[in-house]
Amino acid sequence: MIKNLPFVFAIVSVFAHAQPIVIAHRGASGYLPEHTLEAKAMAHAQGADFIEQDLVLTKDDVPVVMHDIYLDTISDVATKFPDRKRANGRYYALDFTLAEIKQLNACERFSEKTGNQVYPKRFPKGVSAFQIPTFEEELQLIQGLNRSTGRVAGIYPEIKQPKWHRSEGHDISAIVLPILKRYGYATKNDLCFVQCFEFEEVKRLRTELCWQGQLIYLMGAFKKGEKVTTEKPSFEQIAQVADGIGPAISQEIAAQSKQAHAAGLKVHPYTLRIDDLPKWANSTEEVLHLLFDEGKVDGLFSDFPDVAVKWLLKK
C-alpha cells in the first residue's frame, strides 16, 4: 500500500462539496475494454471522481475485477481452455486459479451467441493486449495515479453475486473487506463506496461484517407509479443500513430521487452510455438534465466519464 497520500484535502473536496460525483463505470469503458487497468487509467485522466470495480473471486479466492462471474464474453478463455466450461457452456472465474486467469487476453465485451462486440463503435475486439486485473493491482494503480498526478480519485467496489459465491463455498465479502482496510478504506471519510445488488448482503456487510464505510444498495429501474411492495425494502429500511441507492436510469428518477433524499439517502444512478441512450431520451444532454437538474442526483455512473465531467464543469 502507498502511504501518506494527500487524502485529507481530497476527502474534504469530494464529500463536502455539493457538486455531484462522476463514477467511471467499469473505467472509461466507452473507450477501452471494460475493467482493464488501461480503462481505469483513462478514467482517472478524464477526471472521474470515483472509479468502479466489479469484483468476483478466482478458485484460489483472489478478488479479480470483472463484471460477470463468467469469463467467456470478455476474454479468449474458450480458445485457451476449451475443456473447462461447465455443463451450461459457461466458463466461471471461480473455476480458474489466478495464474490461469492471467494467461487470458481480456477484450471488448462480446455477445455469447454471436461473438460480435456488444457496442460496435467501441474499442475493436481482440486487438492489442489486455489482462483481467486483481483488485489489489487496481487499487495500487489508482493510488499510484493519485500520488503521481496529485488528483485523488476514489474507488467504488461492487460485491458481485455474494449469495451465489457462498453457495459455491466462497465468502466474497469477507475476503474483500480486509483488503479495503489494508489499502486505507475503512470509514465514511475514506473515498470508497461499497455497493451490492443483494439487500441481504448489504445488511450483512453493515452488521455481521461491520463495514463502517459508505454503502450503496443497487436496485433496478423505477417504474411509473410503482409502489413500495413487501418484496422490496422501503427507502426508510434501506436508510437503516445504507448511505444511498444505485437505481437504473429511468424517466421516474426525479420523483424517486426526491423520496430517497427525504429518507436521507444519496442517489447514484447507473449507467449513462452515450452510444446506448435510454429509449425515451433524444440526446445525452436530455438525460444529464433529467438526472442532475431535475433529479438532483448525487452522482452518476457513466461509461464515458469525460462527458459527465464536462457537463458538470459548465454548470
Q: Which residues bind ligand G3P (CB under 6 A)?
A: 25, 54, 67, 158, 195, 218, 246, 270-271, 301
Q: Which residues bind Ca ion (CB under 5 A)?
A: 54, 158
Instruction: State the binding partner of 218 from ligand G3P, Ca ion, none, CB within 5 to 8 A by kind.
Output: ligand G3P
- Interaction partner, residue 203 (ligand G3P, Ca ion, none; CB < 5-8 Å by kind): none
Which residue reads 465479502 in cell numbers?
Answer: 173
CA separation for the pair 280, 248 (Å, rounded): 14
The kind and range of the H/E element at 214 are: strand 214-221
- Out of 25, 35, 44, 268, the active site residue is 25
Active site residue 25: yes
For residue 124, the 8-state DSSP code is P
CA distance 155 to 178: 15
- Asked whether 218 and 249 are in contact (CB, 8 A), the reply is no
> Alpha helix (H) ranges present in 185-280?
199-206, 235-241, 253-262
In the list ligand G3P, Ca ion, none, the entry touching 222 (Cβ below 5 to 8 angstroms by class) is none
To the nearest whole angstrom, how small is the minimum distance from the Cβ of residue 298 to Ca ion? Answer: 17
Spatial contact of 225 and 253, defined as CB atoms under 8 Å apart: no
**Whose CB is nearest to Ca ion?**
158
Nearest approach in angstroms of CB 25 to ligand G3P is: 6
Taking the complex as a whole, the smallest distance from the CB of residue 141 to Ca ion amounts, in Å, to 18
Per-residue b/e over 17-56, b at no fewer than 16 CB within 10 Å?
A: eeebbbbbbbbbbbbbbbbbbbbbbbbbebbbbbbbbbbb
CB of 182 to ligand G3P, least distance (A): 23
* CB-count exposure of residue 66 (10 Å: 0-12, 13-18, 19+): buried
From the CB of 160, what's the least distance to Ca ion, in Å? Answer: 8
Q: Which of 35, 67, 165, 268 is catalytic?
A: 67
The DSSP code sequence of 141-205 is: HHHHHHHHHS---EEEEEE--HHHHHHTT--HHHHHHHHHHHTT--STTSSBEEEES-HHHHHHH
Please list the residues that pair with 270 across neighbouring strands. Answer: 248
User: Which of Ca ion, ligand G3P, none sits in contact with 38, Cβ below 5 to 8 A by type?
Assistant: none
Q: State the catalytic residues.
A: 25, 67
